[in-house]
């Protein structure tokens, strides 16, 4: 069983007022966390009776709400924006849709780095190198960095490249370049989505209905964009490999790569196998 567990319930019966130590005990968080939330603008300051700070039921409700939003995968900065009304209704709906897999997942669907190393038989320092270069990016749940169980196959794919004879230093450099280029293109794609999809929808009407339209648009465009990028990368890679081998390869190498490219059994990116 995974050491990571996102479940963390708080009592819902007490009505207040509470001293800070009582609020922390009921909410099952530390006093330092409560004070940290206040400094970040997530929690209203307490009332005071003399030198005694007193917290109300509303403070406990806010702590519960912060916890639920964190379970949704939202960062504290995003949660603060939601509380301050900086995030429109449509955008909040899209936030929740983007993090739905994290919210719905069981704790066993996520692994710590130690658990990922154990499941893949890959040394932890090597995995940490892949994480540092963006080859296996973690996700944040409740402010903890964890890895979806699907990363087991991703880590094994990286190991297969190493076992093929590619030096680790060269693989990490390639991973870094790929990560930087992918991030740059992803940001450009987000700008296009903002300008031509999100803005027209939210400017019409900021409501739950517009939020649903935004989610539907995102769900249509994400798989299309992924299939387009994956297909383009594979075709470009094969075309360049063929061109390279035509110049430097032996005849049997040229024939081998032609057979791979022209094989009807090769699965196109984005298409399911039979």
Q: Quick one: pLDDT band at residue 8, thresholds 50, 70, 90?
A: very low
Instruction: Please tell me the distance from the alpha carbon of residue 41 to that of residue 55, in angstroms, as a whole number.
Output: 15
Digit-coded pLDDT (tens) for 46-57: 998 888 889 998
> Phi/psi class of residue 64: alpha, beta or left (left: φ > 0; alpha: ψ in -120 to 50)?
alpha
Query: Is-cis flag, bond preceding 17, omega within 30?
Result: yes
pLDDT surpasses 60 at 4: no
CB-CB contact of 88 with 202 (8 Å): yes
pLDDT surpasses 80 at 177: yes
Pairing status of strand 52-54 against strand 110-111: unpaired
Q: Quick one: pLDDT band at residue 10, thresholds 50, 70, 90?
A: very low
Residue 36 has which token pair? Answer: 């940290």
Pick one of 3.40.190.10, 1.10.1660.10, 1.10.10.60, 3.40.440.10 as the CATH number of 105-206.
1.10.1660.10
Class level of CATH domain 20-86: mainly alpha
Instruction: Please tell me the distance from the alpha carbon of residue 61 to that of residue 83, in angstroms, as a whole number.
Output: 13
Calculate Rg over the CA atoms of the chain.
25
Q: Phi first, then psi: give them for residue 17, nearest 5 degrees.
A: -70, 160
Query: What pLDDT is recorded for position 118?
Result: 92
Question: Residue 19, SS3?
Answer: coil
**Count of beta carbons in the 10 Å neighbourhood of residue 262:** 8
Residue bearing tokens 């504290």: 76
pLDDT surpasses 70 at 274: no
pLDDT surpasses 70 at 142: no
Query: What pLDDT is recorded for position 104?
Result: 47
Please provide the average confidence, as pLDDT, over all residues in the chain.
79
Which one is predicted more confidently, 12 or 90?
Answer: 90
DSSP assignment, residue 42? S
The arithmetic mean of pLDDT across residues 38-43, rounded, is 88
Residue 163 has which token pair? Answer: 């076992």
What count of Cα atoms within 13 Å lies in the side-chain half-sphere of residue 165? 0
Query: What pLDDT is recorded for position 114?
Result: 92
Digit-coded pLDDT (tens) for 203-224: 877 677 787 888 888 889 888 9
How many residues make up the chain in this entry? 274
Query: What pLDDT is recorded for position 270?
Result: 46
Spatial CB neighbours of 82, under 8 Å, sequence gap ≥ 6: 69, 74, 92, 95
pLDDT surpasses 60 at 36: yes
Instruction: Please tell me the distance from the alpha carbon of residue 72 to that of residue 188, in angstroms, as a whole number.
Output: 26
């Amino acid at each position: 069983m995974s050491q990571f567990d996102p479940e963390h319930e708080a009592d819902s019966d007490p009505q207040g007022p509470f001293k800070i130590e009582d609020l922390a005990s009921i909410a099952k968080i530390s006093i330092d966390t409560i004070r940290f939330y206040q400094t970040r603008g997530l929690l209203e300051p307490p009332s005071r009776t003399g030198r005694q700070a007193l917290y109300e039921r509303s403070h406990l409700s806010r702590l519960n709400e912060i916890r639920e939003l964190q379970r949704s995968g939202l960062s504290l900065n995003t949660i603060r924006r939601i509380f301050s009304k900086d995030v429109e209704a449509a955008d909040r709906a899209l936030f929740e849709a983007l993090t739905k897999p994290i919210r719905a997942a069981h704790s066993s669907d996520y692994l710590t780095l130690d658990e990922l190393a154990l499941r893949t038989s890959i040394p932890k320092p090597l995995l940490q190198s892949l994480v540092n270069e963006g080859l296996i990016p973690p996700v944040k749940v409740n402010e903890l960095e964890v890895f979806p169980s699907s990363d087991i196959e991703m880590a094994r794919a990286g190991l297969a490249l190493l076992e093929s004879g590619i030096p680790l230093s060269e693989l990490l450099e390639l991973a870094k370049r790929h990560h930087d280029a992918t991030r740059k293109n992803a940001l450009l794609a987000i700008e296009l989505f903002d300008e031509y999809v999100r803005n027209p929808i939210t400017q019409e009407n900021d409501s739950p209905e517009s939020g649903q339209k935004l989610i539907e648009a995102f769900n249509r465009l994400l798989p299309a964009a992924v299939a387009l990028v994956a297909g383009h990368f594979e075709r470009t890679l094969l075309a360049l490999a063929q061109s390279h081998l035509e110049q430097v390869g032996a005849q049997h190498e040229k024939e081998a790569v032609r057979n791979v490219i022209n094989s009807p059994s090769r699965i196109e990116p984005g298409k399911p196998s039979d």
